[in-house]
Amino acid sequence: MAVREAEPVGSLQEVKEVGLDREDLLAIYRHMLLTRGIEERGHILYKQGKIPGSFYTGRGNEGAAVGVGTAMGPNDVGTPLHRDMGVHVTRGVEPWRVFAQYMGREGGPTGGRDGNVHMANAELGLHTMVSHLPAMLPVATGMALAFKIRGDRRVAVGWFGEGSAARGDAHESMNMAGVRQLPVVFVCDNNQWAYSTPTYLSYSVEHIADRAAAYGFEGVVVDGTDVLAVYREARRAIEKAREGGGPTLLECLTLRMEGHAVHDDAFYVPKEMFEQWAAQDPVERYRTWLHNHAGMTDDEESEITSAVKRILIEALDRADESPLPDPSSLAGGVFASFEDLDTPHHK
Ligand SMILES: Cc1ncc(C[n+]2csc(CCOP(=O)(O)OP(=O)(O)O)c2C)c(N)n1
Ligand SMILES: [Mg+2]
């Protein structure tokens, strides 16, 4: 079974056929701008010395993250990683909480206990990543196994990078998901670099999605800079899983447009590569599409842009007002009680 390479999305009609109306289209744009805005401001906070550690950005991955996040159903679950701020934003995480998290403040989702993008809101169906990669794939697979055993019509989405695809837990998860035909979608953010390691040193097949055939399910490669194509493919894979059709491996091809994190200037990435991929910047590409195909007016655009700016300014202030955690609360939240787990996503 050869991997399928997804076509780009062209017309408004095609988009309507996959279930998005004009309001959805504008919401996608807002989510992409918010994602980029959070990451650009995070970079500034880092330079101001307000962030301990580093700041991870997914510049270039906004379309891939928002596309998949938009395709998930309200009761679906996911394990987004450090390039997937767009997933948190799409599912409704408030930007001020992201800044508070990075600044180590009480208002962050981990209450200042963990740093950077090691955060998620379980009530929104997102489960916090641990640093070890791709250790969340077995978690996503396990959630899908639970859904199947209980007969829930829910789907788990697990993210991984092309570099971490080389590790055993990626293989074990996909093998088990294939054997048990679990309702899980594996999303590979293939941004062509794993820190300084290029793809030719990470895998020897043409596409990571080629591997899906060996696990007995479908592999699809999609241009990760085309948010609508990502949405269409993710939606198809998620609904197929929901209907009992088993897993899909969806590979979103992008370029990591910045360093591994903001402390890394990516000197090892050829300049021409950045120039080539900058020409298909996902946010700009979608903005142009909205003007050309969905009749987005300049007024609508500036309304969205200023609303996003306002949200970000308020978010920075609110995060800055959030105190550092009280050291006496250190051991709190380590063990979950039954009440803590009383969310729609733990039932
Ligand atoms: C098991 C493990 N080894 C090493 C690391 C350190 N590390 C963090 S991100 C990263 C690169 C991962 O590359 P890739 O999977 O392509 O994801 P990307 O960062 O490019 O999104 C490495 C080596 C880790 N987090 N986990
Ligand atoms: Mg990578």
Q: What pLDDT tens digit does each residue of the chain (347 aa) get? A: 579 999 998 889 999 999 999 999 999 999 999 999 999 999 999 999 999 888 999 999 999 999 999 999 999 999 999 999 999 999 999 999 999 999 999 999 999 988 889 999 989 999 999 999 999 999 999 999 999 999 999 999 999 999 999 999 999 999 999 999 999 999 999 999 999 999 999 999 999 999 999 999 999 999 999 999 999 999 999 999 999 999 999 999 999 999 999 999 999 999 999 999 999 999 999 999 999 999 999 999 999 999 999 999 999 999 999 999 999 988 887 787 878 777 766 65
* CA of 131, closest atom in ligand 1: 25
Ligand 1 atom closest to the CA of 260, numbered from 1 = 19
Q: What is the pLDDT of residue 336?
A: 79
Looking at residue 233, its pLDDT comes to 98
Ligand 1 pocket test: which of 133, 187, 189, 197 has the largest number of ligand atoms within 8 Å of its C-beta?
133
Nearest CA to ligand 1 atom 25: 132
What is the CA(195)–ligand 2 centre distance, in A?
Answer: 7
Please give the pLDDT value at position 85: 98
Ligand 1 pocket test, candidate residues 114, 131, 164, 255, most atoms within 8 A of CB: 164
> What's residue 340's pLDDT?
79
Predicted local confidence at residue 334, as pLDDT: 78
Does the CB atom of residue 201 touch ligand 1 within 6 A?
Answer: no
For residue 161, report the distance from its CA to the centre of ligand 2, in Å. 5
163 CA to centre of ligand 1 in angstroms: 7
Which ligand 1 atom is the nearest neighbour of the CA of 256? 20
Q: Which atom of ligand 1 is nearest to the CA of 82?
A: 21
Tokens of 231: 């949405």
Q: Is 27 exposed, middle or buried (0-12, 13-18, 19+ CB in 10 A)?
A: middle
Distance 62 CA to ligand 2 centre (A): 14
pLDDT of residue 10: 84
CA 153 to ligand 2 centroid distance, Å: 31
In this structure, what are the phi and psi dihedrals at residue 256, rounded to the nearest 5 degrees?
Answer: -70, 110
Distance 328 CA to ligand 1 centre (A): 33
Residue reference for tokens 């250190």 = 330
Question: What pLDDT is recorded for position 346?
Answer: 66
Architecture (CATH level 2) of domain 4-18+55-85+114-293 = 3-Layer(aba) Sandwich (3.40)
Residue whose token pair is 């959805």 = 24
Pocket flag, ligand 1, residue 64 (CB < 6 Å): no
Residue 337: predicted pLDDT: 81
Whether 268 lines ligand 1, by a CB cut-off of 6 Å, is no
Q: Report which residue type is found at 231.
A: Y
Q: Ligand 2 centre from 170 Cα, in Å?
A: 14
Question: What is the pLDDT, as a whole number, of residue 342?
Answer: 76
Reported pTM? 0.96
240 Cα: distance to centroid of ligand 1 (angstroms): 30
Q: For residue 169, what pLDDT is reported?
A: 97
From the CA of 190, the nearest ligand is: 2
- Which atom of ligand 1 has the smallest separation from the CA of 190? 16
